Structure 1
Amino acid sequence: MRRLVAAGIGVVATLGTIGIAAPAQAATTAAKPFELIYGNSFYTGTVNFSNRSVTATGEVKSTVGGGCRFGEVTAFVGDKGYPVGRTRSVCDGDAVVMPITSTADVPGGPTSVVLTLCAVDSHGSVTPLRSTSRIAR
């Protein structure tokens, strides 16, 4: 009788683990391009999804006399947004190329991302200028 009980427990344990296994996702996805243009300023580059984050590598360019600009990266899992990553601000015709990461520390990682080109004035007020629609994994 003990052997039957032990065997039954082993079968139940094995079947239980089969039912909770999450589908595997690629460690990183192929780069997906984005382009946000506002007048003569822009934020362009590519996004790559990994297991628990998304990274945008791109260039932010401001215009002379047009104030300062920066880029934002927001990861999503379903409809839930995760912490925003930001480039440094550039002003008066300057540009910066840098990778920015937004982390969604959940199994499978982010399902989509939104990128935004923002303006910041001399008082620190931020205005979103252009945003992508959600870019899926």
Structure 2
Amino acid sequence: MGTELIKQEGDFHVLNAEVHVVSGANSSQTPCRATSCGRCGRFGGCRARVATAPAATAAPASVSRPFTVKYGASIYKGTVNFSARNVTITGTLHAVGCRYVKAEAYVGVDTNPPLGRNQSPYYCNTNVPITLPVPANKPGGADNVDISLSADADNGYLTTVFK
């Protein structure tokens, strides 16, 4: 298999799908005037190196969204923080009667089973801060979370928060 010089411009050339850059050619140093690339033997030659593509831009480390869920005179209000492999729900519960908070993390709508879930204990007639970490151990994490405020296992009010 022979070598194929695809493109040659100024201080670099492409050879067999690799970009070879002659270092120092566009700097305040004396430009390189050698006749062959130190890597492949063509064009240039002063300490040639393989150029790499710029690093991909990463997705935001986390996304935060506000939420409110009500059940009668009770209310749980706060923020959902979506990150790479988990969701954290942080808020304050104003419980009238006995209430608990439950959260389930999902990818897509109406998908079962959830990636993860967590639930608070019951709180009665109080104001209390509640933080619920919910695992979402999948690349990219969850893109939505269901947060419910309930008085018993089969009853409650639900809100869905999307990333």
Query: What TM-score results when the alignment is normalised by the length of structure 2?
Result: 0.59
Indicate the structure whose relative CO is greater, using CA pairs within 8 Å and at least 6 residues apart.
Answer: 1
Alignment deviations for residues 100-137 of structure 1 (CA, whole Å, 9 cap, x no partner): 111111111101111100113xxxxx2331101x3211
Aligned residue number for residue 74 of structure 2: 41
Q: Which amino acid aligns with 1:59?
A: T
Q: Say if 1:95 and 1:127 are closer, same or farther in 2 by CA, change over 3 A.
A: farther
Q: Find the structure with the greater CA-based Rg.
A: 2
Contact 1:25 1:51 in 2 (8 A): no
2:115 alignment partner, one of 55, 78, 82? 82
Report the Cα offset of residue 51 of structure 1.
Answer: 0.4
Aligned residue number for residue 135 of structure 1: 161
Pairing 1:1-137 to 2, within 5 Å after superposition = 1=1, 24-29=58-63, 31-63=64-96, 66=97, 68-78=98-108, 79-80=111-112, 81-91=114-124, 93-120=125-152, 126-132=153-159, 134-137=160-163
3-state secondary structure, aligned to 2:61: coil
Query: Residues of 2 paired with 1:112 and 1:23: CA distance?
Result: 23
Query: Residues of 2 paired with 1:113 and 1:119: CA distance?
Result: 20
The RMSD of aligned alpha carbons is: 2.3
3-state secondary structure, aligned to 1:62: strand
Report the Cα offset of residue 95 of structure 1.
Answer: 2.5
Report the Cα offset of residue 23 of structure 1.
Answer: 8.3
Q: How many residues align?
A: 110
In structure 2, stretches of 5+ residues that fail to align are 4-15, 18-55
% same residue: 34
Query: What TM-score results when the alignment is normalised by the length of structure 1?
Result: 0.70
Which structure has the highest strand share of the two?
2
Contact 2:106 2:116 in 1 (8 A): no
In structure 1, stretches of 5+ residues that fail to align are 5-9, 12-21, 121-125
Q: Say if 1:107 and 1:61 are closer, same or farther in 2 by CA, change over 3 A.
A: same
Q: Which amino acid aligns with 1:117?
A: L
Which structure has the highest helix share of the two?
1
